[in-house]
Amino acid sequence: MSTVRLNKLKKPILVAGPCSAESKEQLVSVTSALQKTNSISILRAGIWKPRTRPNSFEGIGEKGLIWLKEVQEELQIPVITEVATTLHAEKALENGIKNIWIGARTTVNPFSVQEIIEVLKGEDVSVMVKNPIHADIDLWQGSIERFIKAGVENIAAVHRGFSSFMNSEYRNLPMWNIPIELQRRFPTLPIICDPSHIAGKSELVKTVAQKALDLNMAGLMIEVHPDPKNALSDPQQQLTPIEYNQLISRLVLRKATSESQMVLNQLEELRSQIDKVDEDLISTLVSRLDLIKQIGEYKRSENLSVLQLKRWNEILNSRTELAKKLNLDEVFIVKFLELIHQESIRIQTDINSTLD
């Protein structure tokens, strides 16, 4: 009972446990409550905690590894912990902890990732790579590639959201398009969602978890603590074992595909209608951009500026009004119009520079 085979685990993979290990009793209490309901595949617990400011609880340190090792053996549950330095990695291995996660603050630094890999390579380990703090998919991909290159292929990615200055209901913005693109780049890589660090507050964890399953993510990493209010780290976002079990029992599992031919045929039929609509959309765009070219040539011959602010405002207002009447989302239509306007400006400024 130590190294998990991430690709072989039953889905959804349920990684649950406290933000930080605080005592052996705490770990046993959470694990046994979750084992009774079969709602845990791997126990998570942080031993060294990356904290924004000093003088806060920085993790229990090395002595917690002994608890993890004992719980792993006594309760027959694989345990995963975070390593951020080569020393952490060595200590984890020495204590028989073979499942490792790389935290968001480590993924941002290729030097640290590479140093940790030098310790882990050749060992029978599993590794989960959290996304970097900021929304840089290439950096996330780069870390994953470094592991693969070193022959550490028993890996998964963890989507824990992205830090932002924007006011938001989330602690870390989910930006779902990023894990979706990562899955496109690594089609067989299990991607696990960490709704606790995305949500930042316990009430929001369930909504994020369901969304992750709707997107066919491979599993969830959720913080569970016997007494969240008194937790030494992340007290607002941890669930009690009862809340967690309730959440898991209410989640709706989605299938990637269906075995029923009737369902597949129906989907196929709707998709062929979409194909036709997309063809029409593209032809309509081509007609619009042809007109943009004509207008651009006319503006140039009459010595008029490309940007016509009054007209752009009229377009923005009238199209948004119409879209709203037709129940289209306002943010979506504004983004769409801005994209078209940008392309129109590009085409018309190109005309000016090529004809000069």
- Residues that bind Mn ion in the complex, under the rule CB under 5 A: 19, 234
Q: Which residue type, as a one-letter code, is found at position 330?
A: E
Binding mask 330-349 for ligand PEP (x = CB under 6 A): --------------------
Q: Which of 231, 236, 242, 243 is nearest to 23 (CA)?
A: 231
- Reported as half-sphere exposure (CB side, CA atoms, 13 A), residue 252 has a value of 5
Cβ proximity to Mn ion, 19 vs 158, nearer residue:
19
Tokens linked to 252: 């709706």
Residue number with the smallest Cβ distance to Mn ion: 19
Distance CA 25, CA 110 (A): 36
Instruction: Give the rounded distance of the alpha carbon of 170 from its chain centre.
Output: 13
- Quick one: which of 197, 202, 344, 351 contacts ligand PEP (CB under 6 A)? 197
Least distance from C-beta 63 to ligand PEP, angstroms? 18
Number of Cβ atoms within 10 Å of the Cβ of 169? 11
Say whether residue 50 binds ligand PEP (CB under 6 A).
Answer: yes
Cβ proximity to Mn ion, 12 vs 46, nearer residue:
46
Least distance from C-beta 103 to ligand PEP, angstroms? 3
Q: Which residue type, as a one-letter code, is found at position 123?
A: E
Say whether residue 103 binds ligand PEP (CB under 6 A).
Answer: yes
Binding mask 117-156 for ligand PEP (x = CB under 6 A): -------------x--------------------------
Distance CA 239, CA 228 (A): 6
CB 233 within 8 A of CB 46: yes
Q: Could you say which DSSP state residue 66 is in? A: H
Say whether residue 88 binds ligand PEP (CB under 6 A).
Answer: no
Say whether residue 104 binds ligand PEP (CB under 6 A).
Answer: yes
Say whether residue 206 binds ligand PEP (CB under 6 A).
Answer: no
Selection from ligand PEP, Mn ion, none that 160 binds (CB < 5 to 8 A by kind) is ligand PEP
CB 177 within 8 A of CB 162: no
Angle, helices 86-94 vs 63-74, to 10°: value is 40
Reduce the DSSP state of residue 222 to 3 states and report it: strand
Selection from ligand PEP, Mn ion, none that 103 binds (CB < 5 to 8 A by kind) is ligand PEP
Least distance from C-beta 135 to ligand PEP, angstroms? 14
Which parts of this chain interact with ligand PEP (CB under 6 A)? 19, 46, 50, 103-105, 130, 160, 197
